[in-house]
Amino acid sequence: MTALNTYLTFNGNCKEAFDFYKDVFGNELLMMSYFKDMPEDPNCQISDSDKNKVMHVSLPISDTCTLMGSDTIAEQSKELVQGNNFSISINADSKSDADCLFVALSKNGNVIMPMDDTFWNSYFGMLTDQFGIQWMVSFDQTPNS
């Protein structure tokens, strides 16, 4: 079953926010990784000031809902304003479902990151649809998911 989750973007205080949400909802974080944990990539240089920012965090809210988030890196922080600091994240049931959703949602929109395999073992892409809504589409390729 395809799942929709909210993905929040912060300007350097993601860890603080998710520590707060963890207390509010009474659940433990599934994971928290930092930009410094990323493998070296010449196409994606992370500044020293951004390396300790949160790259991804997930907090289960219920059996069917997960709140996710990350910090933005310095070069993108000027684009982040209250109101555009979230995306809708879709976890598809298959790679082909992810492709179909991505193509349909990106029609007349803007592809930010095309669908591709990632180092975190997900098939993933990002886009802004024709109405200005930001989407993350993924298929988790880990076994038993």
Q: Provide block-wise average pLDDT over 10 residues at a time, the chain (145 residues).
A: 82 89 89 90 82 94 88 71 74 92 92 94 91 86 61
Tell me, what's the pLDDT at 32?
Answer: 95
Tell me, what's the pLDDT at 15?
Answer: 94
* Domains located in the chain, CATH noted: 3-140 (3.10.180.10)
In this structure, which amino acid lies at residue 145? S
Tokens of 97: 């479902």
User: Rounded to an integer, what distance in angstroms lies between the CA atom of residue 77 and that of residue 10?
Assistant: 9
Instruction: Using a cut of 0.85, tell me whether the model's pTM lies above it.
Output: no
**Element housing 20 (H / E):** helix 14-25
Tell me, what's the pLDDT at 80?
Answer: 61
Tell me, rounded to whole angstroms, the distance of Cα 112 from its chain centroid.
12
**b or e along 55-77 (b: 16 or more beta carbons within 10 Å of the residue's beta carbon)?**
bbbbbeeeeeebbbbbbbbeeee
Residues in Cβ contact with 44 at an 8 Å cutoff, skipping those fewer than 6 apart:
38
DSSP line for 42-103: TTS---TTTTTSEEEEEEE-SSS-EEEEEEPPGGGGGG--TTSSEEEEEE-SSHHHHHHHHH
Tell me, what's the pLDDT at 12?
Answer: 87
